[in-house]
């Protein structure tokens, strides 16, 4: 409705009262009059209201029967309204509306404040009951007979107790038998008057998850101080209980997981920690590359986002071990919708369960064949799969399963992720150690001879075992062995041991092995060779500076199959053992000499005769010495273990290691067994050469006849030429007696020519000038021979040459 004109006079009202609140509005609802009573009722001055719509005073909508529509029909209206006071309060009023008596379109409002009835004041008992029921602590009062005197509604709901009529006078054990032991505590409180508290775990009726409660019992005394009752109040500490529990488990993980640098053992420690305190079943699956010590990579060709792992650790309790579980060490493939594959793809833990309507999880369970234990997951309530990730690299997955009655929660997933993160660091440390140790062992093995040369003098078998450290060291050391071909079908046998372990010891071992080969090539006797080696070790100690002194032991033996004599010297090394053809084993008595690097005592040679098919056994101290066994006992055990009725040297090596090492070695072990072969008259010929140039022709004739007897006619011309030059040089420059010796080596198809005299002067190869009458003999020998050289002997020197012969000379 639209106003036609403003009223000239204030609308008249039939209602009146002391200081009545009267408001007049026009046909549009605009306030035209505002009385002093209205100002007192609502706080607004006339200037604040007149000219504004009356509706801004309403806190809600008008009743269904709008006053203006009623007034337009010539009637009136009364009802209750809620108006807004100037200070923001809501003022309830009783409103009576009449049309103006002068017929002007509008309304006259009479407002009377409605006084609401004062609320009923609750009793003290009601206030106490409300406070107790709405408070955080369930309460109960027990009388001297321990029966309930009063129970709060909160405790009633927690224990599932019935109404007061069935509870009062009865005891705790009547309703909750599993915590009936609290009655002993209440009796003590009644007797002593001292408060008491303890913690318990309780599963409320109809719930699956237990609560952790802190229960306190307080004595209730009368005015004379006598204990008349016990007040029990409970505090729900479940969250704090689990927080402390998981924090303690994480701390325990730091102590129990990663105690060794073995990947498999670390994974087993993780599952042993998790079961049973966190899960009923725990599995650790790792990438194959992690187990090999390589960079973690997925090498198999698999469907998109599928994951191939290998079962490394498995622990179960309380649900019976599934017969279809994947055995340890066997491969397992997870499809892309499985929790393990999903957690690896996303990099976050995945929580799934049979009751969560997780379609991907249920699909995985339904597709699992029996052999992978997939269907056994249906007997469990929930699964957590967490990636084992360290330094941004996925190593594998941790899978935890729990029975239906105790399902995992989101907080459990976070705990599992934290456990996995800590375990992954230990796994990564183990992986890096394995990789570095494999590299060090490979390096050390590459420094040892892999293919020993064939020898006419000896048949050789060797074994090398790196020690297995109980701490975090590399597990490589400086033990070595070697077989060095010498001139005249002789052979050098070496074993040595560098003090210490690790890559540094291996590097020093490589330098010493190279030095021994070099010194042996220049035909040094064992004692002189060790003297030069001692100087090298002292030089290495000087170069080491602050890295510590360098020390080593070594045994060098040179065996001559023609004389069947073996000359040896040792530098602080255990003596070798000789096993004679009759099976007698004896320790060679030789001067041990000081270890290499001291440089203050000379080394001495010892010579022994080794008949055909004797065994010479060289080894390092790791074979005979340990914390439980001293050297003498170890040597005696070694002699007994060598008496075997077998011919195979490899079998003898294996038997010796098995007999001597009942546990993994705590030091490197190098073992070398050589079976000797003697060269008889059909393989060696010797002639004395008079000091007369005319005898050169007869020497050639003897050699030609020998070569014909050996079937080496095809190579006789070259041999004649070499013999002529060597014998001529000995007659011209040497000192008698002079001998010529030919050796046929059928193993290496070599003819060896040796000319010995009593002079110690070694020949030197030089290039003769055009007009020189001499100096071409050794050059000719060098051109016609495979190799040649000279060696010093106790009585002079020997010049030798080697030439290859055809297969016709072989037996």
- HSE-up (13 A, CA, CB side) for residue 31: 22
Q: How far apart are CA 11 and CA 25, in angstroms?
A: 9
Look at residue 674 in the predicted model and tell me its pLDDT: 95
* pLDDT for position 10: 36
Confidence grade of residue 449 (pLDDT, cut at 50, 70, 90) = confident
Determine the pLDDT at residue 175. Answer: 78
Strands lying side by side in the sheet with 606-609: 477-485, 491-501, 552-560, 565-571, 606-609
What mean pLDDT is predicted for residues 218-237? 88
pLDDT at 373: 45
Question: What pLDDT was estimated at residue 3?
Answer: 38
pLDDT range class, residue 653, cuts 50, 70, 90? very high
Contact at 8 Å (CB) between 441 and 476?
yes
Q: In what order do the strands lie in the sheet with 227-236?
A: 148-151, 139-142, 227-236, 211-221, 196-202
The domain made up of 453-676 is a member of CATH 3.40.190.10: no
Nearest Cα to Cα of residue 293 among 451, 167, 428, 137: 428
Task: Tell me: pLDDT of 151 over 90.
Answer: no
Give the pLDDT band of residue 651 (cuts 50, 70, 90): very high
Domains 124-236 and 453-676 share a fold: no
Contacts of 571 (CB under 8 A, 6+ apart): 530, 533, 534, 552, 553, 554, 555, 592, 593, 594, 595, 596, 603
* Dihedral of the alpha carbons of 517, 523, 525, 527, in degrees to the nearest 10: -40
Can you identify the CATH homologous superfamily of domain 242-438?
A: GAF domain (3.30.450.40)
pLDDT at 703 over 80: yes
pLDDT at 12 (0 to 100): 38
What is the model's pLDDT at position 492?
Answer: 96
Which of the two residues, 277 and 765, has the higher pLDDT score? 277
Predicted local distance difference test score (pLDDT) of residue 128: 77
pLDDT at 448: 82
Confidence at residue 380, expressed as pLDDT on a 0 to 100 scale: 60
663-693 tens-digit pLDDT? 777 788 999 999 999 998 889 999 999 988 8
DSSP track, 56-76: GGBSSPPPSS-HHHHHHTT--
Q: Which residues pair with 476 in a beta bridge?
A: none
Label residue 15 by pLDDT band (50, 70, 90): very low
The CATH T-level fold of domain 684-809 is Heat Shock Protein 90 (3.30.565)
264 vs 7, more confident: 264
- Identify which of 34-48, 175-189, 479-493, 585-599 has the greatest average pLDDT: 479-493
Q: What is the DSSP letter of 252?
A: H
Copy the structure tokens of residue 109: 């409002």
b/e code 341-351 from CB counts within 10 Å (16+ = b): bbbbbeeebbb
Cα–Cα distance between 57 and 38 in angstroms, integer?
A: 12
What would the mean pLDDT of 293-304 be, rounded to a whole number?
A: 60
Between 9-18, 444-453, 568-577, the lowest mean confidence (pLDDT) is in 9-18
What single string gives the DSSP state of each residue in 365-412? HHH--GGGT-GGGGGEEEEEEEEEEETTEEEEEEEEEEEGGG---HHH
Residue 90 has pLDDT above 90, yes or no: no
Residue 323 reports pLDDT greater than 50: no
What is residue 513's predicted lDDT score, i.e. its pLDDT?
Answer: 92
Q: Which residues of 547-582 are buried (b: 16+ CB within 10 A; e: fewer)?
A: eeebbbbbbbbbbbbbbbebbbbbbbbbbbbbbeee
Q: State the CATH class of domain 21-113.
A: alpha beta
More confident residue, 119 or 506: 506
Q: Which fold has domain 124-236?
A: Beta-Lactamase (3.30.450)
pLDDT greater than 80 at residue 11: no
Lowest pLDDT segment from 125-134, 180-189, 253-262, 493-502: 125-134
Q: How does the average pLDDT of the chain come out, rounded?
A: 81
For residues 377-397, average pLDDT: 81
Distance in angstroms (rounded) separating the CA atoms of residues 245 and 471: 31
pTM of the predicted protein model:
0.62
81-85, 534-538, 648-652: least confidently modelled range:
81-85
Ranges of each domain in the chain: 21-113, 124-236, 242-438, 453-676, 684-809
E strands in 509-598: 552-560, 565-571, 577-579, 585-587
């Amino acid at each position: 409705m639209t106003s036609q004109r403003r009223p000239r006079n204030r609308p008249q009202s039939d209602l009146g009262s002391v200081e009545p609140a009267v408001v007049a509005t026009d046909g549009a609802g605009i306030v035209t009059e505002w009385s002093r009573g209205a100002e007192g009722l609502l706080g607004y001055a006339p200037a604040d209201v007149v000219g504004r719509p009356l509706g801004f005073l309403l806190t809600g909508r008008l009743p269904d029967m709008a006053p203006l529509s009623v007034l337009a029909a010539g009637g009136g209206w009364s009802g209750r309204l809620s108006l807004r006071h100037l200070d923001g309060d809501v003022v309830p009023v009783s409103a009576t509306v009449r049309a103006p008596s002068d017929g002007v379109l509008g309304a006259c409002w009479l407002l009377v404040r409605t006084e609401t009835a004062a609320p009923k004041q609750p009793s003290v008992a009601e206030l106490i009951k409300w406070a107790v029921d709405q408070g955080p602590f369930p309460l109960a009062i027990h009388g001297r007979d321990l029966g309930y005197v009063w129970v709060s509604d909160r405790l009633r709901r927690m224990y599932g107790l019935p109404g007061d009529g069935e509870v009062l006078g009865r005891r705790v054990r009547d309703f909750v038998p599993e915590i009936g032991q609290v009655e002993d505590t209440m009796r003590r409180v009644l007797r002593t008057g001292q408060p008491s508290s303890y913690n318990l775990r309780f599963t409320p009726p109809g719930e699956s998850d237990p609560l952790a409660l802190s229960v306190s019992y307080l004595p209730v005394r009368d005015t004379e101080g006598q204990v008349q009752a016990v007040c029990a109040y409970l505090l729900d500490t479940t969250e704090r209980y689990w927080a402390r529990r998981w924090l303690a488990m994480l701390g325990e993980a730091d102590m129990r997981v990663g105690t060794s640098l073995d990947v498999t053992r670390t994974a087993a420690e993780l599952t042993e920690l998790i079961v049973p305190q966190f899960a009923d079943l725990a599995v650790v699956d790792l990438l194959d590359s992690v187990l090999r010590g390589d960079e973690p990579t997925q090498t198999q060709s698999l469907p998109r986002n599928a994951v191939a792992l290998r079962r490394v650790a498995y622990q179960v309790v309380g649900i019976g071990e599934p017969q279809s579980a994947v055995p340890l060490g066997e491969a397992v493939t997870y499809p892309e919708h499985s929790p393990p594959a999903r957690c690896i793809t996303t990099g976050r833990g995945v929580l799934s369960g049979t009751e969560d309507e997780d379609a991907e999880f249920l699909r995985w369970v339904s597709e699992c064949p029996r052999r992978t234990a997939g269907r056994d997951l249906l007997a469990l309530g929930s699964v957590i799969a967490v990636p084992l990730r360290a330094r941004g690299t996925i190593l594998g997955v941790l899978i935890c399963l729990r029975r239906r009655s105790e399902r995992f929660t989101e907080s459990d997933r976070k705990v599992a992720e934290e456990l996995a993160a800590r375990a992954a660091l230990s796994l990564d440390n183990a992986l890096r150690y394995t990789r570095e140790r494999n590299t060090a062992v490979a390096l050390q093995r590459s420094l040892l001879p892999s293919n020993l040369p064939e020898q006419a003098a000896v048949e050789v078998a060797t074994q090398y075992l790196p020690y297995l450290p109980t701490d975090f060291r590399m597990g490589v050391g400086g033990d070595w062995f070697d077989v060095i071909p010498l001139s005249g079908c002789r052979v050098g046998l070496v074993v040595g041991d560098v003090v210490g372990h690790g890559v540094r010891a291996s590097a020093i071992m490589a330098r010493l092995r190279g030095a021994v080969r070099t010194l042996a090539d220049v035909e040094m006797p064992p004692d002189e060779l060790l003297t030069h080696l001692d100087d090298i070790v002292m030089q290495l100690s000087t170069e080491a500076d602050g890295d510590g002194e360098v020390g080593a032991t070594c045994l060098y033996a040179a065996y001559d199959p023609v004389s069947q004599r073996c000359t040896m010297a040792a530098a602080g090394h255990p003596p070798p053992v000789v096993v004679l053809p009759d099976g007698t084993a004896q320790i060679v008595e030789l001067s041990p000499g000081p270890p290499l690097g001291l440089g203050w005592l000379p080394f001495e040679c010892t010579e022994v005769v080794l008949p055909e098919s004797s065994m010479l056994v060289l080894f390092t101290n790791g074979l005979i010495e340990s914390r439980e066994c001293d050297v003498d006992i170890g040597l005696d055990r070694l002699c007994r273990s060598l008496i075997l009725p077998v011919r195979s040297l490899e079998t003898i090596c294996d038997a010796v290691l098995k007999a001597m090492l009942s546990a993994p070695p705590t030091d490197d072990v190098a073992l070398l067994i050589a079976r000797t072969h003697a060269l008889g008259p059909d393989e060696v010929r010797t002639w004395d050469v008079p000091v007369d140039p005319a005898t050169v022709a007869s020497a050639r004739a003897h050699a030609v006849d020998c070569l014909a007897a050996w079937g080496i006619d095809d190579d006789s011309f070259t041999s004649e030429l070499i013999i002529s030059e060597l014998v001529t040089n000995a007659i011209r420059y040497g000192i008698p007696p002079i001998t010529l010796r030919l050796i046929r080596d059928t193993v290496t198809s070599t003819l060896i020519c040796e000319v010995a005299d009593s002079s110690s002067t070694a020949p030197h190869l030089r290039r003769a000038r055009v007009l020189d009458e001499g100096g071409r003999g050794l050059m000719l020998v060098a051109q016609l021979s495979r190799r040649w050289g000279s060696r010093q002997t106790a009585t002079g020197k020997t010049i030798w040459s080697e030439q290859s012969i055809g297969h016709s000379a072989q037996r």
